[in-house]
């Protein structure tokens, strides 16, 4: 295995690159309901965006450019899962959460593959594409029949589409939980140049303001 960065969290082939993006799941919860329709539409936009990044990137090494354009690997994932569940009042890790999470990831997967196949019809499949071998892939065999037929007919633009990355920095910028992890803690003390402060997770802080005397509901699940 060849480590592609100092962390080496994603072993790839020589000179391969990881082109990552993540959907903020918390943004799709309105009035405690997940908006699957708009989430699916935005996943398709995100796939086109990541595919365009492959062509618009400046590559320092020609070897990177060749591998990137030969297989057109993307890594579309998610962040804010824990926050999305809290907004839906669903307990992270509960039996109730499983069908919700499954539907979210099915929507992510199906729309990503539909988009990549449709872009292939428009711009061509990735150069190393071999239809027979590709359709024998372990993950590809698990796709819904209509999507497999679409790929068989139209091809696929990207050799690899999805990954679940830690999203450490991007989740901090977005102000939501990282990747598929639970919220680390809802109350914690922060030390900085201005001293010590009691910090609250934004959704918990909002709940406390609206319900000052109420106990914390069980759907506020921390890592501990």
The residues with which 78 forms a beta bridge, in sequence order, are 23
Is-catalytic flag, 215? no
Q: What are the C-alpha distances in Å from 187 to residues 81, 87, 184, 197?
A: 19, 18, 9, 10
Q: For helices 36-56 and 62-71, what crossing angle results, to 10°? A: 140
Is-catalytic flag, 5? yes
Is-catalytic flag, 122? no
Considering 9, 37, 187, 205, which one is annotated as catalytic?
A: 9
Considering 5, 38, 52, 211, which one is annotated as catalytic?
A: 5
State the Cα–Cα distance between residues 22 and 129, nearest whole angstrom: 25
How large is the C-alpha radius of gyration of the chain? 20
Considering 7, 132, 145, 191, which one is annotated as catalytic?
A: 7
State the Cα–Cα distance between residues 108 and 129, nearest whole angstrom: 22
Q: What are the C-alpha distances in Å from 33 to residues 4, 30, 88, 210, 217?
A: 39, 5, 6, 20, 18
CA atoms within a 13 Å half-sphere pointing along the CA-CB vector of 82: 21
State the Cα–Cα distance between residues 194 and 60, nearest whole angstrom: 42
| Residues noted as catalytic | 5, 7, 9
């Amino acid at each position: 295995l060849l480590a592609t960065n100092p962390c080496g969290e994603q072993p790839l082939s020589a000179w391969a690159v990881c082109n990552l993006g993540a959907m903020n799941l918390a943004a799709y919860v309105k009035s405690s309901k997940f908006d699957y329709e708009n989430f699916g539409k935005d996943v398709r936009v995100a796939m086109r965006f990541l595919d365009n990044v492959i062509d618009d990137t400046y590559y320092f090494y020609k070897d990177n450019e060749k591998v990137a354009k030969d297989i057109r690997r993307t890594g579309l994932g998610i962040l804010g899962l824990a926050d999305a569940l809290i907004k839906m009042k669903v307990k992270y890790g509960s039996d109730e959460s499983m069908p919700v999470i499954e539907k979210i990831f099915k929507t992510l997967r199906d729309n990503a593959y539909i988009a990549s196949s449709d872009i292939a019809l428009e711009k061509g499949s990735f150069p190393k594409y071999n239809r027979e071998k590709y359709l024998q892939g372990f993950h590809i065999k698990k796709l819904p029949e209509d999507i497999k037929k679409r790929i068989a007919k139209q091809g696929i633009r990207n050799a690899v589409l999805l990954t679940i990355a830690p999203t450490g920095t991007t989740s901090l910028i977005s102000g939501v939980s990282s990747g598929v992890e639970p919220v680390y803690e809802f109350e914690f003390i922060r030390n900085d140049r201005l001293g010590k402060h009691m910090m609250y997770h934004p959704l918990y802080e909002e709940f406390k303001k609206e319900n000052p005397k109420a106990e914390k509901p069980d759907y506020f699940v921390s890592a501990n």
